[in-house]
């Protein structure tokens, strides 16, 4: 197997010398488990060896750039979550508010209705400022 230009080598260069799970690795493992997927299933979906995914979860300081988007799509999260950006807003405790639930439902509406919602909110919020 030739890993000369692979994501594996790109990550190995920045590996964690203590061989303890990094924040990126912990996040990746948590997302995978939350999705109910095994390392083997995720690795197969990404087209990488299972041991490479195991390394990313255990010792890599970050996920290779070429895997960020596929991982985000696989886990149903934004690339920012995979990269650990803006995490604090994602760690909000408690149930979602009524407004958050409505926004989630609104994302499934046709674009014309989404535009109407955006305009209405803009007017309402703009008048409050």
Task: Tell me, yes or no, whether 58 and 106 share the same domain.
Answer: no
The structure tokens listed for 43 are 């690795």
> Is 118 part of any domain?
yes
Q: Is 62 helix (H, G, I), strand (E, B) or coil?
A: coil
Take residue 14 and report the two structure tokens written for it: 């920045």
Query: Does residue 67 share a domain with residue 30?
Result: yes
CA 38 to mean position of chain CA atoms: 16
Domain-embedded: residue 2 = no
Q: What is the CATH number of the domain that holds 76?
A: 1.10.260.40
What are the respective helix, strand and coil percentages of the chain, to the nearest 5? 65, 0, 35
Give per-residue pLDDT as tens, 19-63: 456 888 888 999 999 888 999 999 999 999 999 999 999 988 888
Same domain, yes or no, for 102 and 86?
no
Q: Which residue has the tokens 């300081």?
A: 61
> Within 13 Å and on the Cβ side, how many CA atoms surround 91?
6
Query: pLDDT tens, 80-121?
Result: 888 888 655 455 555 667 887 888 888 899 999 999 999 998
pTM, whole model, 2 decimals?
0.53
Residue with tokens 């920012």: 80
Tokens of 10: 């790109």
* pLDDT-derived band at 2, boundaries 50, 70, 90: low
- 7-19, pLDDT tens digit by residue? 555 555 555 455 4
104 and 86 share one domain: no
Contact 58, 15 (CB under 8 A): no
Q: If we measure between CA atoms, which residue out of 21, 28, 61 comes closest to residue 43?
A: 28
């Amino acid at each position: 197997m030739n890993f000369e230009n692979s994501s594996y080598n790109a990550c190995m260069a920045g590996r964690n010398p203590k061989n303890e799970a990094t924040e990126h690795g912990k996040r990746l493992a948590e997302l995978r488990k939350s999705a109910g997927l095994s390392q083997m299933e995720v690795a197969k979906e990404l087209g990488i060896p299972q041991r490479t995914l195991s390394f990313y979860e255990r010792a890599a300081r970050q996920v290779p750039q070429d895997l960020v988007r596929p991982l985000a799509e696989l886990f149903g999260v934004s690339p920012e979550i995979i990269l650990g950006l803006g995490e604090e807003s994602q760690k909000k405790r408690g149930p979602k508010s009524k407004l958050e639930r409505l926004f989630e439902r609104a994302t499934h509406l046709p674009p014309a209705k989404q535009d109407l919602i955006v305009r209405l909110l803009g007017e309402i919020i703009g008048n409050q400022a």
